[in-house]
Chain A
Amino acid sequence: MTPSPFLPTGTVYGTLLNFRAELDALAPQMTQPPYKAPPKAPVLYVKTANTWSPHGSAITVPSSVPEVEIGASIGMVIGAEGDVEGFVLMNDLSIPHPSFFRPPVKFKCVDGFLGVGPALRDAQEVADPAGFRVEVRINGALKQSIDFSQLVRPAQQLLTDVGEFMTLAHGDVLMLGCDAGRPLARAGDRIEISAPGFETLRNTLVQEAAA
């Protein structure tokens, strides 16, 4: 019997602007309205429980949008002592949106918009999360390679900085961020997110049924 795929038990938090290329791409706008200044603290958002799609499931693309953005990331799963218990691949989908001024709830908290990797990779096996290399394939073609040595706040730093203002509870997940160059995909596409040492996360995109 195949074990049930992993799903979080706590709140899932995502992190914006945690890859150097992503930060650099926005840097020219950061001193302009509406942002006016670069962020001082980690910029987090919540992927609500209605977004969670287990490994292997089909994710519905709303009929109102032609394409969705694939945000491959790795989530740190928090253990009972507030430590990192393990790491899991994540497929953090968004409806593309130009502004980062207001929380993009209707672009990020759409039903099914977070693919969750099939299994935790035990934190004990991981020497340094900076060594993670993640690849995104759409219909088998390589679309993005992500090097986690390029984090603005490396894993431990991110945990420390987030811990300055909130406590992550047992079962919560904190995603390390999504790099620039996030690929777009549409209904019918097969998405694979893979990394050495991790079980590959697969999701397919399907069109919303007519109302």
Chain B
Amino acid sequence: MKHARVIFEGREHTGTAHEFNGQPDAAVRLDDGRIVPQEQLTWLPPLAPTPRPRTILALGLNYADHAKELEFKAPEEPLVFVKGQSTLIGHRQFTHRPAGVQFMHYECELAIVIGKTAKNVKRADAYDFIGGYSVANDYAIRDYLENWYRPNLRVKNRDTCTPLGPWFVDAADVPDPMALALKTTVNGTVTQQGNTRDMIFDAPFLVEYFSRFMTLSPGDLILTGTPDGVVDCKPGDVVICEIERVGALINTIQGKA
């Protein structure tokens, strides 16, 4: 099942993906039974609120081709950073591009959603702890990259810079998350293509690795990194990050003084 959280007629609803005009997932069946096309909804990040802030772990350089593009050798250990919960926004929302910036790029990423408390999980058991998946767009503003705790929070932790959605997809509906085609279009032109099979550190590895030193809780997120093909995004650009079986996340860049 594909789950959504949306606002319709001023009220928050949960819902599930529904066919509309012959298009799969083009609408949401709300918790009250009404079927509403995507564009009539205000979308929230698809995860239910958790009792404490969710932990958002994000991978850098987790695809060999992207590591090459950025002139680094592939890391021997996951390169990970942490994001604050308040950078998240939903599907069909706007992401701010600060004035005067030279290079701001999207990063289409498979988001792993932890399903149950995970501590010292073995790789062989890792999938038991994954509740499902979503699509994340982990924007970076490269102008602000400094070599202290890189990528620093001024690059990666900005308001509106982590669209997530549209759906939270149950793990059972994604039989092999390590073989999913992934692509990004900007204004309809394909700019980024890849496959989750090319990850350096795959989902079970990451659950094992993190749970060795930190307890992961239901609703925590692991953003698994992005492949080659990031380009600068300007105000007005419509960026769609799409992952097979998981969904197509639409986001529009907005200028901000």
Contacts and interface: CB of A to CB of B under 8 A. Distances in A.
A172 interface: yes
Interface in B212-228: 213-217
Most buried by B among A16, A17, A44, A48: A48
A48 B214 contact: yes
Contact of B153 (A9, A40, A110, A166): A166
Contacts of A9: 52-53
Contact of B82 (A8, A16, A45, A62): A45
Contacts of A169: 85-86
Interface in A35-72: 35-37, 39-41, 43-46, 48-51, 62
Given A34-B147, A36-B147, A104-B149, A165 B215 contact: no
A169 B159 CA distance: 11
Nearest to A164: B154
Interface residues of A, number: 39
Contact of B144 (A62, A101, A102, A165): A165
A101 B148 contact: yes
Contacts of A106: 213
A46 B215 contact: no
Interface residues of B, number: 34
A211 to B, nearest CB: 8
Nearest to A64: B213
A41 to B, nearest CB: 5
A11 B86 contact: yes
Contacts of A35: 147-148
Interface residues of B: mostly helix, strand, loop or mixed?
A: loop
A43 B149 contact: yes
Interface residues of A: mostly helix, strand, loop or mixed?
A: loop
Interface in A64-103: 100-103
B233 to A, nearest CB: 18
B14 interface: no
A109 interface: yes
B147 to A, nearest CB: 5
A61 to B, nearest CB: 12
Interface string B72-91: 00000001111111110000
Contact of B85 (A10, A44, A45, A109): A10
Interface of A: 8-11, 13, 16-17, 34-37, 39-41, 43-46, 48-51, 62, 100-106, 109-111, 165-167, 169, 172, 211
**Considering the complex of A and B, which 7 residue pairs feature the smallest CB-CB distances, nearest first?**
A46-B82, A11-B84, A103-B81, A48-B55, A43-B148, A165-B154, A49-B52
Given A41-B144, A50-B55, A104-B149, 7 more contacts: A9-B52, A11-B85, A35-B148, A37-B147, A43-B146, A43-B149, A103-B81
